[in-house]
A and B are shown apart, each in its own frame.
Chain A
Amino acid sequence: MASILRFRKLCYVEPVSKPSLGFESSNKTTCLREDKGSSVVVVDNDPSCVDVVSLTKEIQTDKKRRRRKEAREWRCVDSCCWMIGCLCTTWWLLLVLYHSMPINMTLPGYQFVESPGTKLKKEGLTAFHPVVLIPGIVTGGLELWEGRPCAEGLFRKRLWGGSFSELFKRPLCWLEHMSLDNKTGLDPLDIRVRAVPGLVAADYFAPGYFVWAVIIENLARIGYEEKNMHMAAYDWRLSFQNTEVRDQSLSRLKSKIELMFVNNGYKKVVVVPHSMGVTYFLHFMKWVEAPPPMGGGGGLGWCAKHIKSIMNIGPTFLGVPKVATSLLSAESKDIALARAMAPGIFDSDILGLQTLEHMIRVARTWDSMVSLLPKGGETIWGNLDWSPEEGFICDQAKKNYFQSSTHNVSQRTNSSDGKLGFRIEEPVHYGRMISFGKETSQLPSSVLQPFNSKGHEHVNHKSSCGEVWTEYDEMSRESLRAIADKKAYTAKSVIDLIRYVAPKMMHRAEGHFSYGIADNVDDPKYSHYKYWSNPLETKLPDAPDLEIYCLYGVGIPTERSYVYKMSTFDKCKSIPFRIDSSADGSDNGCLKGGVYFVDGDESVPVVSAGFMCAKGWRGKNRFNPSGSTTYVREYQHKPPANFFEGRGVQSGAHVDIMGNVALIEDVMRVAAGATGVELGGDKIHSDILSMAERINLPL
């Protein structure tokens, strides 16, 4: 303290030569000056200055040391901390700003699209018919009710849907709990995973990824709430009949519909199923009218009494080709692409993950997967030589898809360009749903060898890879090669193929599903529940006032058939087949990365989604004896115009279409009492009518 005081005194006494510098430095210099000046003359200098010099030196070194120390401390960890601190603070600041931002603030240049709910409310629409929402496969949440020790603490937590955090934390445990029993297709011992009930089951699939939320919100605008809106959540892993056996889901749905019917002044319900929910509801309609032991005992006329219309969104009436490949090799377009980009990640046994093998094993225990296999065989999906979609010009769809132009004019020129410019030399053989090798998919059919499953035997190897069991381990190399050798499979023989490579799964599943076409729908055998979800083997209920809508997106390339190859067959390390992602067509072709594309909504081809409404049920025919009216409403896909639109308000993609304003408006109008004619009847963008024309199905 005293030294500092002395310092200051010195400063005041001596003239400061360099005033601009700070306090310490000026001090020091003055003293030095003096030092220098006096050194010549005076021997014994002013003692105070010597003192000062030594003092300053002392302080200087001390400071230096300290500073050096500080600098060392500040170097690494502290910079990190500083960084994190900065980031956090900025983040919070932005968060606060975001929260305090007025909600209706519109960004410059961004046109706010009025939601259909608000629009129709202004028109004066109010809630009229109760609405039943039926989610599809995958989108419904599943939660744990009883589990093995590894799943401790997850009681009533979502295993499926939500954040999927458990998948990363304990993947094997998760897989174990998501699997079903291989024999029965029901719960494994000591595990109970159940569907989440209520609207929360499928409003959002993951945080921020809506499924039904947008529709629900818009319906709420015109007065819907829980009492007249019901989400018929079910365990989508089970076969449809098993949801009744295990959870009584069908009975609950029946009771709910009856309750809503009565509580809302005896107004019929409008059912809105999505994706696989469409076939689930077909099954329900047969079940509810069937007599008690197998059915719900609602009696004939139940549907006519309780249901106004069924608005199928992205329906999978006739199955999805994608499912065949995921059962065969646990992959579809996306995975094949990923594999092409980063070979080795999926294939090699890094970290002992065997992701795909695990996936195939789990997926094969889910009966519902099997329900989505293509139905109707070659009559619907085409054979080796023809297919209903042949002559489809891929380029058009692709251009529409990849070009984000929202201007109708340019689109029209584009499409006409496409039509004029590119004539496909020879039609694509969509009918060959799976062909081994690119050439096979293009060869004339006479060269191809027929597939004969009789000739090959399953060889039971002592499997060394017990942990990840797929039925492939039980097949010999020869029989696998026989499958692959120069062969192409149509919709019919694909099922034979799957039967051959996964006999146990198909044995289990074929107790619940069927893929054929009925010659005589009145045959008593068709009263068995396994036919109920196949529209080609059942009659619609006797409900002449019932309206059936097929609402789906078009304009997105959709997987239709595949080029396969044998993978390097290293026993039990990998699945023996995979999509040949190197198989690419010419620039304008429909073949890309081993996949032939057609028009559709990215998941479901137009044929599957639209055929029943466009032809199979149109008018009074043997599948629709009472002549329920059908409507096809297609929605042309337009990608989101800018970033703020999120997943787009005019999307046609399989799930994103649930946020399509035009579709929501249609659903709301019908729910508020409009008929299909008032909506404007059919609205068709694709070639579904001519495709349906080509399908030779006796009606």
Chain B
Amino acid sequence: MSLLRRRKGSEIEKDSKLNLKEDENIEGEDENKHKVKEAKKKKKEENKKKWNCFDNCCWFIGFICSVWWFLLFLYNAMPASFPQYVTEAITGPLPDPPGVKLQKEGLKAKHPVVFVPGIVTGGLELWEGHQCADGLFRKRLWGGTFGEVYKRPLCWVEHMSLDNETGLDPSGIRVRPVTGLVAADYFAPGYFVWAVLIANLARIGYEEKTMYMAAYDWRISFQNTEVRDQTLSRIKSNIELLVATNNGNKVVVIPHSMGVLYFLHFMKWVEAPAPMGGGGGSDWCAKHIKAVMNIGGPFLGVPKAVTGLFSAEAKDVAVARAIAPGVLDKDLFRLQTLQHVMRMTRTWDSTMSMIPKGGDTIWGGLDWSPEEYYECIHKRHKHNDTELAADKGAEHVDSQTKSLPYGRMISFGKDVAEAPSSKIERTDFRDAIKGNNYANGSCNDAWTEYQDMGIGGIKAVADYKVYTAGSLLDLLHFVAPKMMKRGDVHFSYGIADDLNDPKYKHYKYWSNPLETKLPNAPDMEIYSMYGVGIPTERAYVYKVSATSDCYIPFQIDTSAEGETERSCLKGGVFTVDGDETVPVLSSGFMCAKAWRGQTRFNPSGIQTYIREYDHAPPSNLLEGRGTQSGAHVDIMGNFALIEDVIRVAAGATGEELGGDQVYSDIFKWSQKIDLQL
């Protein structure tokens, strides 16, 4: 109706334009019409205004939600094999996962399997907390989504920390490891740790009754897991149960990362007499363990652990700091992230278990190191033998010119790192007097022991200039006396001259392979399985940071770069071959030399095997973290490694696997280490 009228009106207007003589009636009508129109327009305009902002937002959100739901629905309705189908269409048929392949070969579950997770990967949950952690009972604080870190960071840090004096629970807080396979199958949603291995083992018949996850609280020292949680007793009892309920088949133990050290400790503990040990008798390991398959084992420690304790940073943090200077350092939002992280990690005894062991003998002194002629450009060694030989030749030529100062694990300044040792002037820091607390309590919020050190102490540390693996310990004692005092009760980092010395009966030596003997179990097999071909942190260039306020006074000097592309120095870090976290030397040396054959560390002549896995990055995005990765954690999804594990679990021996499989120069390096065997 209105439309009609409107049209009529407009016609009339046209008329008025053409024929200028018009009678008043029409004009009046016209006016009326316009009034109606105006009112309508007004209304419409109001409508429009209402729709403008809020409604557009709503519309937008609604639209996005709907699309999202629709996609979600499609995703859920999608057959489970679809992604695989797509992947295969793009990359060609995938190889069978090792579980399927070996199932077709007819392998069956035989030996029960025990997993020992490493540091960081095991979940921790809250059993008792302070007010601020209300509602988190039996929720994961560590692992999972880490939602609480963002929601209540200070509360989280408080609950994750341990007591500074005892290294045990603070009062009123009980955080305990998650138990069962769920403890470490996935670290965060989608980020597998053990899940792939578990799934593949399940293919040949493994299930809960033949698999056991020896979850433990990885924050506390190994002996304290027994004192507080009786974890070692539980592992003992569970292994005995597994053997008893599986027709007496011995277990295959698969420790990963720090779990390797933990299990070394366990093997000593279980055979030691009752008050300190488990009282299993001297043949317990021989009776219950078929093989120990160490994955990425930091037998001799990790250089990264030192910088973690020293300045709460590793390569990643240093890089982040270089990219966005200020974010981590500034007191933005009063966060003091690094200080908090440092305070928290320094209460964790376990980090001290990974301080490099064996001192200068293993890790090299001021002037030499076992890896000194390593050629960084050859990160990926060729499988082809002739090429390998050519590589070695090239390396040899190069080595004449320059050796790398890996032995100087921490040096202040790049020039110091590369200068000949005679030219470095060092002032001993050990007797330096620590200054007063210059921060004067203003940063109590994030207390680190650095605030007790004073400017004098910091200067003394920097003046010593170069630290080798041996003097690093003194450095740590100097900068963090309380922590090290706590740690010295639980860990030791030396080399035993006489293993039969009764002092080595103390538990603090049990996790150091250089101060213990392997158990008397001649049929046992020890594997060292690790990835190679990834640059791994080995030594650091440090600088003193601006000491004006309460920050950590030392930082990795990310500006220190090598001269050429071929240089091993990058962003203040000297890298060497390894699995990104553990250098080859640490994970391979024990099996390559110290335990090989019948030695004083291995009196019963346990067979050792080295299985290296050359790193090949995932060829495309669909492969996720890769099936041929050699990285420290991603190697748990490496098909070749999984196949080895399954074969051993199904009864194969190391000989049947093919003995050693070596890509790195571990044997050459081991040769250079002068350790009495």
A133, chain B: closest CB distance, angstroms? 14
Q: Which residue of B lies closest to A61 (CB)?
A: B10
Contact with B along A640-673 (1 / 0, CB 8 A): 0000000000000000000000000000000000
Q: Is the CB of B62 within 8 A of A88?
A: yes
Alpha-carbon distance A57/B20, docked complex (angstroms): 18
Q: Is the CB of A39 within 8 A of B38?
A: no
Alpha-carbon distance A39/B26, docked complex (angstroms): 12
Q: Is the CB of B174 within 8 A of A225?
A: yes
- Interface membership of B55, Cβ < 8 A: yes
Contact with A along B135-168 (1 / 0, CB 8 A): 1011000000000000100000000000000000
- Interface membership of A453, Cβ < 8 A: no
Q: Is the CB of A25 within 8 A of B42?
A: yes
Interface centre among A21, A43, A44, A84 (most CB of B within 10 A): A84
Chain B residues with Cβ below 8 Å from A88 are: 61-62, 65
**Which one of B66, B207, B245 contacts A194 once the chains associate, using CB atoms below 8 Å?**
B207
Alpha-carbon distance A262/B232, docked complex (angstroms): 13
Contact with B along A18-53 (1 / 0, CB 8 A): 000110110011001001100100011100001001
Q: Which residue of B lies closest to A54 (CB)?
A: B17
Alpha-carbon distance A11/B603, docked complex (angstroms): 106
- Interface membership of A220, Cβ < 8 A: yes
Contact with A along B183-210 (1 / 0, CB 8 A): 0010000000000001100110001110
Q: Is the CB of B20 within 8 A of A39?
A: yes
Q: Is the CB of B38 within 8 A of A85?
A: no
Q: Is the CB of B13 within 8 A of A53?
A: yes
**Which one of B45, B59, B230 contacts A85 once the chains associate, using CB atoms below 8 Å?**
B59
Alpha-carbon distance A146/B185, docked complex (angstroms): 17
Q: Is the CB of B237 within 8 A of A255?
A: yes
Chain A residues with Cβ below 8 Å from B80 are: 152-153
- Interface membership of B604, Cβ < 8 A: no
Q: Which residue of A lies closest to B128 (CB)?
A: A220
Q: Is the CB of A22 within 8 A of B45?
A: yes
Q: Is the CB of B241 within 8 A of A255?
A: yes
Q: Which residue of A lies closest to B151 (CB)?
A: A99
- Interface membership of B57, Cβ < 8 A: yes
Alpha-carbon distance A28/B9, docked complex (angstroms): 14
Alpha-carbon distance A146/B198, docked complex (angstroms): 12
Q: A29-B38, A81-B62 are in contact. Are A259 and B179 (CB under 8 A)?
A: no
**Which one of A22, A36, A45, A227 contacts B27 once the chains associate, using CB atoms below 8 Å?**
A36
Q: Which residue of B lies closest to A201 (CB)?
A: B180
- Interface membership of B564, Cβ < 8 A: no
Q: A25-B38, A225-B176, A252-B245 are in contact. Are A89 and B61 (CB under 8 A)?
A: yes
| Residues of chain A in range 221-259 having any CB-CB distance to chain B below 8 Å | 221, 225-227, 247-248, 251-252, 255, 258-259
Alpha-carbon distance A251/B134, docked complex (angstroms): 38
| Residues of chain A in range 116-161 having any CB-CB distance to chain B below 8 Å | 145-146, 152-153, 155-156
Q: Is the CB of A53 within 8 A of B17?
A: yes
| Residues of chain A in range 65-109 having any CB-CB distance to chain B below 8 Å | 67, 74, 78, 80-89, 99, 103-104
- Interface membership of A200, Cβ < 8 A: yes
Chain A residues with Cβ below 8 Å from B234 are: 227, 259, 263
Contact with A along B9-28 (1 / 0, CB 8 A): 01001001100101000010
Q: Which residue of A lies closest to B234 (CB)?
A: A259
Chain A residues with Cβ below 8 Å from B81 are: 152
- Interface membership of B623, Cβ < 8 A: no
Interface range for A: 35 or more
Q: Which residue of B lies closest to A169 (CB)?
A: B76
Chain A residues with Cβ below 8 Å from B45 are: 22
Q: Is the CB of A85 within 8 A of B62?
A: yes
A676, chain B: closest CB distance, angstroms? 29
Q: Is the CB of B207 within 8 A of A81?
A: no
B174, chain A: closest CB distance, angstroms? 6
Q: Is the CB of B59 within 8 A of A82?
A: yes
Q: Which residue of B lies closest to A42 (CB)?
A: B20
Q: Is the CB of A248 within 8 A of B209?
A: yes
Q: A36-B31, A225-B127 are in contact. Are A81 and B63 (CB under 8 A)?
A: yes
| Residues of chain A in range 266-317 having any CB-CB distance to chain B below 8 Å | none
Alpha-carbon distance A31/B384, docked complex (angstroms): 92
Chain A residues with Cβ below 8 Å from B176 are: 225-226
Q: Is the CB of A220 within 8 A of B137?
A: yes
14 A-B residue pairs with Cβ-Cβ distance under 8 Å, sorted by A, are A24-B41, A29-B38, A39-B22, A39-B27, A81-B60, A155-B199, A195-B208, A197-B180, A198-B182, A220-B137, A258-B237, A259-B237, A262-B233, A263-B230
The 4 A-B pairs with the shortest beta carbon distances in the complex, nearest first, are: A85-B62, A85-B58, A81-B62, A84-B62
Chain B positions within 8 Å of A, measured between CB atoms, are: 10, 13, 16-17, 20, 22, 27, 30-31, 34, 38, 41-42, 44-45, 48, 51, 55, 57-63, 65-66, 76, 80-81, 127-128, 134-135, 137-138, 151, 174, 176-177, 179-182, 185, 198-199, 202-203, 207-209, 229-230, 233-234, 237-238, 240-241, 244-245
Q: A85-B61, A88-B65, A145-B208 are known contacts; what are 6 more A-B pairs with Cβ within 8 Å? A: A22-B42, A86-B62, A145-B202, A216-B138, A227-B234, A251-B241
Chain A positions within 8 Å of B, measured between CB atoms, are: 21-22, 24-25, 28-29, 32, 35-36, 39, 43-45, 50, 53-54, 57, 61, 67, 74, 78, 80-89, 99, 103-104, 145-146, 152-153, 155-156, 169, 192, 194-195, 197-200, 203, 216-217, 220-221, 225-227, 247-248, 251-252, 255, 258-259, 262-263
